[in-house]
Structure 1
Amino acid sequence: MQLRMNYMTANKAAFQTLLKLEDSVKKLGLDPVLYELIKIRASQINGCAFCVDMHTTDLRKMGESERRINLIAVWREAPQFTAKERAALAVAEAVVRISDAGVPQDIYDEARRHFSESEYIAIIMAVNAINSWNRIAIATGMFPGCFDKQATQA
């Protein structure tokens, strides 16, 4: 694998714009663990290895168990996730795959049992932010470790 370009230096204004979006989403009040779960699940669906690696590492640093991290991709079949986390992950999946069926009413209704209108929008914004990061990472050829010193010298 080869990194096509360093997006952070190729267009600093674009990078700063995404950083501002990320900073804004962090301030919307989502639980940090839930935010990482959303980022990981969206990145898994989008096929962004760089972001999956980054956010699973971040979740580990927050004290999350290996079991839960390993089961995010199959959260429906794993009892380790709360009803609130399940509702957020269902919304995240629906928004990532928005062209499939939109956000079905049952997913919306379940999410609203656990989240206020403001929190629901925060979940959507979290998905929008990670989708943007995923698309930049994939389009520029990013992979886990691509910015490590050894990878950049290859």
Structure 2
Amino acid sequence: MRFVYWMMGRKFGKVMIPVKVVTARMSGSLGLNRKLQKFHKKIQLEPELKLMVRTLTSEINGCGFCVDLAQSEVIRENLGMEKFNALAEYQTSPLFSDRERAALAYAEEVTRHKNVSDATFEELRKHFNDREIVEITWLNTVQNYTNLVNIPLEIEFDGLCAIAKSETQIEHDERTPVQNVEG
């Protein structure tokens, strides 16, 4: 576990609470999570859409940790927070494309009802091919699974978004040339 804690510290600036709570008591879950992360990288959907689906699912379920983690990824990937802050209004906000709305409506309906209407699925089919629909479904399913591990164990915000913001600011400051100001 020391190695896992060290790696977490390097990657996220701290050891995440789920690792302290779940992995420390059920070490086999680490292998499963690593396999899920590795598989997640093979998903071909655009990174912003993947994060939007994950974040909306976590917001609906009330998983503060997962929202915090996803937002920290948004910051680390330099995607901009505007859409993520407006996810609750995705249906009406001009920030979202019809493609994004279709994916988010599908993820929302699956999360809330474990099924979707024909109309929701048909709208999804207008914007996504079969593989992409399966990828959206998989992302939503895995996010619901993660939420259902964290919520009952009361794993909440972990400060990951704040750490990512401070790291991004430090990187920005290091790249910004210092100007000589006289007078």
Q: Which residue of structure 2 lines up, in the alignment, with residue 151 of structure 1?
A: none
Name the aligned partner's letter for residue 103 of structure 1: V
AA aligned to 1:29 is Q
**Structure with greater Cα Rg:** 2
State the one-letter code of the partner of 2:133: Y
Distance 1:77 1:33 in 2: 19
Q: Counting helix residues as a fraction of each chain, which structure ranks higher?
A: 1
Q: Percent identity?
A: 28
Highest RCO, 1 vs 2 (Cα 8 Å, sep ≥ 6):
1
- CA deviation after TM superposition for structure 1 residue 125, in Å: 0.3
RMSD of the alignment, in Å? Answer: 2.0
Give CA deviations for 1:2-45 in whole Å, capped at 9, x if unaligned.
x7961122112123213312322331312111110001000000
Return the TM-score normalized by structure 2.
0.71
Q: Segments of 4+ in structure 1 off by > 4 A?
A: none
Tell me the equivalent position of 2:130: 117
TM-score after normalising by structure 1 = 0.84
Match of 1:48 among 63, 72, 83: 63
Structure 1 residue 140 displacement after superposition: 1.9
Deviates more, 1:21-30 or 1:117-126: 21-30
The aligned length equals 143
- For structure 2, which runs of at least 5 residues remain unmatched after alignment? 1-16, 161-183
Aligned equivalents of 2:159, 2:104: Cα separation in 1: 28
| Consecutive unaligned residues in structure 1, runs of 5 or more | 148-154
Give the alignment of 1:56-67 within 5 angstroms: 56-67=71-82
For residues 89 and 46 of structure 1, the distance between their equivalents in structure 2, rounded to whole angstroms, comes to 14
